[in-house]
Structure 1
């Protein structure tokens, strides 16, 4: 049986977290600290993987993400983060 394609999971580095929260149009919906976000993200990854989903962490780097959103004329929101992660995974699979 073929494995399903990997699912990109937006991932943030601790040093970028504050800057990303400011960059995201919905950043106020994220936990105020990296530690709180990281704990929730780790739990989400665990749950996805328990379900057998092939989840891969995709780093969201502030400048790269801003440029990606600008080039596509999209808001820097939840939807864009997931689209970005999906695109990165697809590019890696095609390479």
Structure 2
């Protein structure tokens, strides 16, 4: 049953308010993101609620912008929603397995 719950849990990139400006500076898709951290946080919370209503738990995964930049550079990736999702998945995997990739 525990594995069933894990299958219905997803992570979302969570940027702290103090890092928001830096995040917008480096995100390739910044033009698609909200202009203020408050707007983005509200939209993220609405999305988490919508997924919860469908039985999917979405957890906020704190992301340090500088670590994200370094990871993307190592992987030769630009910072977009897909690379952020991959980074968050890796962070969640490390948390559950204790193994860094």
- Structure 2 counterpart of 1:3: 5
Of 56, 60, 81, which aligns to 2:59?
Answer: 56
Q: 1:86 aligns with which of 76, 86, 89?
A: 89
2:19 corresponds to 1:16: yes
Alignment root-mean-square deviation, CA: 1.2
Which aligned segments of 4 or more residues in structure 1 are displaced greater than 4 angstroms? none
Secondary structure of residue in 2 paired with 1:4: helix
Q: Provide the rounded CA distance (Å) in 1 between the counterparts of 2:65 and 2:15.
A: 9
| Structure 1 gap segments, 5+ residues each | none
Structure 2 residues without counterparts, runs of 5 or longer:
none
Relative contact order (alpha carbons < 8 A, sep ≥ 6): 1 or 2 greater? 1
Shift of 1:4: 2.9
The number of equivalent residue pairs is 95
Scaled by the length of structure 1, what TM-score is found? 0.91
Taking structure 2 as the reference length, what is the TM-score of the superposition?
A: 0.86
